[in-house]
Structure formats: structure tokens, C-alpha cells
Structure 1
Amino acid sequence: MAALAVAGVASAQSSVTLFGVVDASISGYSSTSRDMYNGVSYNAFGVPVYDPFYVNQGRVKTSKTGMANSGYNSSRLGFRGTEDLGGGLAASFWLEAPITNDDGATGVSTFARRSTVSLSGGFGEVRLGRDYTPTFWNDTVFDPFGTNGVGTNLISTANGFNTDGGAGGFGGNLNSTRASNSIGYFLPPNLGGFYGQVMYAFHEQTKYSPGLATPDVANNSRAGRYVGGRFGYANGPLDVALAYGSSTVGDDFYAGVTNKVNTLNLGASYDFGPAKLFGELSQAKLKTDIDGNFIVHPGSVPSTKLNGWLLGVTVPVGAGLIRASYSAVKYKTGNNNDDLFFNDQRNNPKANKLALGYVHNLSKRTALYATVARVSNKNGASLSVGNQPFISNSVFTPKNSTGYDFGIRHAF
């Protein structure tokens, strides 16, 4: 009787929940490259030279059709739990694994989506483990497509979200979406609509004393570190947030060089009722820091910027939801006179993307969806839908990429 009583108290003070999403779609992707040479070149004096024998080779294309996952919501399987510690304190955990239900190849073999343990109370929440970075939250919250499927905005794509092969996207930033080994703090939810978080992620590199004992190997001293924060206000139909993050993407101890990607973005949404509008401005800057003991001309280490913007809308229609977004990015190298987001006074690589979609809710947990999207590249940019590769060489230049998702999502 005593044992049963203790067990009853324990179950009342703690809970564990199994949850997940199974999302499958028929998806298709294609990427087109073109021969941009028209037979005219320019000599050292700027005089046009015409080659009458050159025959333009037109366009070439890669394409793929098959079954995919996560076209509307990311497929996942997770466990979360909370224990009431009394006095307003609570301990909790969250383990969330990505799954590839289209082929069953990836199951609960890794909790790479989120793996955290936390302590919360009137002071807010302290969270330890692997989690979303503050700067990624604006990319996904203020995207009508939630950074899922072919509709994912170009800001997220260019910064590294869903990049295959672990390259990390812009600047090789592996912390563009999530950071491991992190300490996070979240403000309490009772601040009249104000919210915020800060995060620090350890690089977990070995430190040597004396410093000259450090092995002469790249990226073994500071790479992997992340620090960032996000603060916003949400009340009624309005939600607006500003985020900043700095990720150390590379270092060379003996050269005194540290490479960082610094990201700043501002996102907002407003629900008018008949329609909800979304917007985001973003800038990521790849910066090289040189130790004070080294004399390097600033012009020898030019910074590279990735500027982006997004406009989107969702319109509820009965049991359905219409979604649309237009996003654009532009790369800038060195010091030029372009305006921050819009003017293009030089031939900087740039791209834009249009995405349209419809979701039909069969119930609160099950939905059918359809999405189409098209990316247009200029001046050497090579962003694509669904990471579909381009044929790119001395003849062909990446131009357009299109894709579609037709699928079903079930959440539990």
C-alpha cells in the first residue's frame, strides 16, 4: 500500500510524452544551366571581339522525381518529459530525432533535431544541449512555409539549412540552424508579450599551455563556438523579433586568423484575420579577424556578405490555407557601394525565389498539401530547389531551378 501511494505521487508530479510527425510527399526537382556566351568577348582594351564560328550550346538540365519526407512539417519522433520539483521549479528533457519515413533508413539513431535538459521557474529557463540557434528562429517562424519542403525561403537555403554533405552553407557555418554543446537561457513567459533568449555553444577544442605547443592544424583552436541572442514582442496579431549570432567557422592558430560568420536578422508577422503577412530582413557576414601581432592590409582580407529579404502571406480558406512567399538574396564581396538590400551597382551573384502552396486540413492532425517553387539565379549564383545540382562548367552557367511537393502529413 505504501509503495503504491509513493508511485501515485511520483506519477502526479512528472510526465513523459511520445510525439512525432510522419510526412511523405511525391516530389520533383529540376535545375537548368545555360550557355551564356553569344560569341562576343572583350580584349584588354575593352574592344568587343566577335567570333563568327561560335555556336551557342543552349541549355542543359538535371532532374529527379521520387518520394520525399518533410514537405509540410519535418518528420520526427520525440520524447519529452517534465517533473514538478515544487516551489515553482520544474526539470524537463526533450529528445527529438529526425526520421526518413520515405525509405525508413533513418530512425531513432540520433537525436540531432533537439536533445536538451532544462530547469525552469519564475526566473525563466536554463537549457543545456543541442537546440535551434536564436538566429535561425526568425528564418523559420516568419516563413509561411516554415523552412519545409520546396517552399523553404532562400535566406535559409543560402545560409545552410538542408545543405547536403555538411558544408554548412554560407561561410561553412555548421551552426546556421542548430548548435551543439550549448547553454541557453529563455526569459519567463509573463513579461507582457516580451520574449527572448541567449545562447552560448562551446567549441570544445583543446587548449595548450604554452600556446606554442598547439599543433599546427587548421580549425583546432576556436572553430565551432557560437554566441547569439533573440528578443521580440508578441501580442495579439503582432509578432516581431530581432536576432544576432556569431559563429566561429575556422581558425589558424599560428597565422593568428579566426573566421566568423556574423548573422543579423529582423522578422515580423501581422495577422489581419483574412490574411497573415510575414517579412524578414537578414545579413550574414563572413569576417576574418587577425591577431594584433600580425600586420595585414585590410584589403587582403575582404569580407563577404549575404543579404536577404522575404515577404510572405497565408490566407485561410475554410479548412484550407493558401501560402505564398517571395525571397531574394545577394552576395557581396569586398567594399563596394551597393545599398544594403536592394541596389545592384555591380555584377554580384544574386537569386530570387517564388513559392506557392495550399494545405487542406482533413483533421487537426492530418493534412494534404501541395507546393510549387522556382528559383532564378543571376551573375553566377547557384541556389536550387531541394539541393538539386546544376551542370556547371566553363560553358554552362546555373540559371533556374524548380520543384514541387504533393503530400500528406500526420502528427501525433
Structure 2
Amino acid sequence: MKKSLLALAVLGAFAGAASAQSSVTIYGVADVGIERFDNDGAAGATWGLTSGNQSGSRIGFRGTEDLGGGLKANFVLENGFNIDTGTLGQGGRLFGRQAWVGLSGGFGAVKFGRQMTPIFVAHDTIDPMGTGLSGAGSGMSAVFNPYGVRMDNTVNYSFSAAGFSAEAAYGFGEVAGATSAGRQIGLGASYANGPLTVVAAYHDAQDPIAASDADARTFFVGGAFDFRVAKLHAAYGDNRGDTAAGATGIRSRDYMLGVSAPVGAGTISASYIRRDERLVADADGDYWAIAYVHSLSKRTNLYTSYSVIKNDDAGNVGGFAAGPGGDVSWFNVGIRHRF
């Protein structure tokens, strides 16, 4: 009897140690709001219930296992959904937001699968709206190019030390007989120390059509400084691209100035973004946005925002307008709960 009790105690100790070495966390966001969308040239304003105005609604699974010697195995499976209809987001993918597995240790971290582009991570770090709060306008990424936000078939390496972090990502094009067709390359770096944050990113996307040399490239730099009473944000993006024939196909510049400040139990933020189109005359556009987030608890908040894009006669920044020169605007009020 004593031997049996001792054996059970030993087994219990080993089981406790094993469970302490690995963990899986379930997390998510439920975000829904009422939105009004005005589009010049359309029949009239559209009112509706929309999902993910501030943050994309999602449910995720995050896990880690301690392999010993400082080495860990990690994974993230993150599903995006539309809370207004209950349908899948990201084109119906099961884990359309993220799906990766990898290893981390003293060397940094390497991840394999569907992941965020480094340039979108840089946007999200600097945008006073957090690349959200503006409904379909999606904050800074409505004008600045995030290259689809996510990359498929990606190998990502990252490391961080003393406030500095960097990452490099390579997305395989997986086109038969053409190594470069469809491939993407992303680079990102950031430095955060006290009130100062600085980010830089580069992205190069090759056309997925074999034998086509068309590609698009963007260099992005941004920064933010927290004065406590208010935080200032600024960013610049330079976009270039070539057609399959080798001619210049993309040439534009993007600028952003923003501010965010605590107000009582919430935060107010505002931004101005300009698209400077270099190839087509009179095709520039201006984006204005203002938002307020009111915290009810650490996990639940209310929000409201208004944003508008004013296009020049030949412009259609973000492709939201019904036609060139049309203006678009969004107004929303909603609730977000994180779990």
C-alpha cells in the first residue's frame, strides 16, 4: 500500500512538471459596431452592423513547450470571423489571420506558416488608430500599402535585445518552374526606449505570373514620441513598382501625421494622411480621421470614429470610391471585448 502511494506521488510530481513545461492559451476579440458609409456616386448612404471596426474579431490558440536548454516550440492558430453574420473572415479561411509553428531560443525565433507582413507590423506600431477604428477605412493601411497584411508560405526570423527588434520574412511563390514568381520579401526593425519609438520596414512583392518581372516595392519609416499629455505620430512611405515590360508602373509617396491623448477613462486620436501620386496627374488624396475609445474595464471598451477620404479629380485612394474623384466617409460606434 505504501509503495502504491509512493508511486502515485512520483507520477503526480512528473505529471505536474510536464504540464508546467507546456501551455496552450485560448484568446480572442469580439468587436461589432453600427456603421454609416457614404460613397459619392452611389445611390445613398449605407447603414449596417459591421464586425471588426477597431480590431478584427477573432479566436486564437497560442501554445508553447519548453524543450530544455532555453529552446521552446511555439505555435499560433488564429481564426478571423465576422460577428455580424457568423461567417469566416479572410476569404473563408479557417485560420486566416495567422497559422504558424516554430522554435525560439537565444538565437531569436523562427516561424513557418501564414504570418503578418513586417511592414503591416510597422504600420500597427505607429498608427494612432492602431490600423483600426475607422471601419473599412482601416486607419493608416487604407492609404499606406500593407501588402495584404499577411503572407502565406512564409519563413520568418526575428530577434530582440535592449529595446531593439528586427525581423526578416520570405514568402514562397510556389509557382512551378519560376522561383521568383509570386515570392515576397519583408524586412522590419524597431527601437523603443522610454517615450520614443522608431520603426522601419521594406517589402518587395513579385507578380505571381511566371515569366513576368512585374513587382512592387515599398520603403516605410515612422516614429512616435510620448509627451505624456499627448503622443505624436509620424510616418512616410515610398512606393515603387515595375510592369512586366520593365516600365515604371508604381510611383507614389504616403505621409502621415497623428496625435493621441488620454482623456479621462479613454483615449482620443486623430490623423491626417496624404497620398502623393507621382505618375498620374491630379490623382492625389487626403485622409482625415478622428476617434475616441472609452474603457469600461481592462477587456471591454466602447468606441466611435469618423473618417473621410477626399480624392482629387483623377484619384481613388484605397479604391473605396465608386469612381475617380469621388469622396468616401465612415462613421461608426461600437463595442469591443477581448478575452
> Fold match, TM over 0.5?
yes
Residues 7-406 of structure 1 mapped to structure 2, 5 A cutoff: 7-33=15-41, 61-106=43-88, 110-150=94-134, 152=137, 156-158=141-143, 175-187=147-159, 189=160, 191-207=161-177, 222-253=180-211, 257-288=212-243, 301-333=247-279, 347-383=281-317, 389-390=321-322, 392=323, 397-406=324-333
Residues 281 and 160 of structure 1, relative CA distance in 2, 3 Å threshold: closer
Instruction: Quote how far apart the aligned CAs of 1:110 are.
Output: 1.2
Match of 1:340 in 2: none
Contact 1:25 1:406 in 2 (8 A): yes
- 2:286, 2:37 → 1: CA distance? 17
1:157/1:11 CA distance change after superposition, 3 Å: same
**Corresponding position of 1:39:** none
How far the C-alpha of 1:3 sits from its partner, in A, is 4.5
CA displacement at 1:68 relative to structure 2 = 0.4
Whichever residue aligns with residue 251 of structure 2, its letter is K
Cα distance between partner residues in 2 of 1:109 and 1:178: 13
Amino acid at match of 1:104: G
What residue is the counterpart of 2:4 in the other structure? none
Residue 155 to residue 21, structure 1, CA distance change in 2 (3 Å): closer
Q: Whose radius of gyration is greater, 1 or 2? A: 1
Q: How far apart in 1 are the matches of 2:266 and 2:93?
A: 35
Give, as a single letter, the amino acid of the residue that structure 2 aligns with 1:88.
Answer: G
**TM-score (normalizing by structure 1):** 0.75
> Structure 2: which 5+ residue stretches go unaligned?
1-7
- Contact 1:23 1:74 (C-alpha < 8 Å) held by counterparts: yes
Cα deviations across residues 154-213 of structure 1 (Å, max 9, x unaligned)?
Answer: 75224566xxxxxxxxxxxxx4311111111111x3x22111001111111112xxxxxx
CA contact (8 A) 1:233 1:240 kept: yes
- Tell me, what secondary structure is at the counterpart of 1:398? coil
Moved more, 103-112 or 198-207: 103-112
Q: Which has the higher contact order (CA 8 A, sep 6+)?
A: 1
Unaligned 5+ segments in structure 1 are 34-59, 162-174, 208-219, 291-297, 334-345
Deviation at 1:62, TM superposition (A): 3.8
Q: For 1:218-258, what per-residue CA distance to the aligned partner results, in whole angstroms no more than 9, with x for missing partners?
A: xx7643201121112111111101111111124452xxx31
TM-score, normalised relative to structure 2? 0.90
Residues 275-325 of structure 1 deviation map (CA, whole Å, 9 limit, x = unaligned): 1111110012122466xxxxxxx7xx2332131011111110121100101
1:357 maps to a residue whose letter is A
RMSD, aligned CA:
2.2
Sequence identity, in percent?
Answer: 35
CA shift, 1:388, in A, is: 5.1
Change (3 A) 1:206 1:252: closer
Q: Distance in 2 between matches of 1:113 and 1:381?
A: 30
SS of the equivalent of 1:258 reads coil
Q: Quote the offset at 1:119 in angstroms.
A: 0.5
After the TM superposition, which of the residue ranges 1-10 and 81-90 deviates more from structure 2?
1-10
Structure holding more strand per residue: 2
* Cα distance, 1:138 vs structure 2: 1.9
For 1:259 and 1:250, locate their aligned partners in 2 and report how far apart those are by CA, in whole Å.
Answer: 9
Q: What do the CA deviations read for 1:18-51 (whole angstroms, capped 9, x no partner)?
A: 0000001000101114xxxxxxxxxxxxxxxxxx
Residues in 1 aligned to 2:257 and 2:281: alpha-carbon distance in whole angstroms: 24
The CA deviation string for residues 70-109 of structure 1, in whole angstroms up to 9 with x for no partner, is 1112211000011111111111100111111111122795
Amino acid at match of 1:358: Y
Say if 1:94 and 1:138 are closer, same or farther in 2 by CA, change over 3 A.
same
SS where residue 85 of structure 2 aligns? Answer: coil
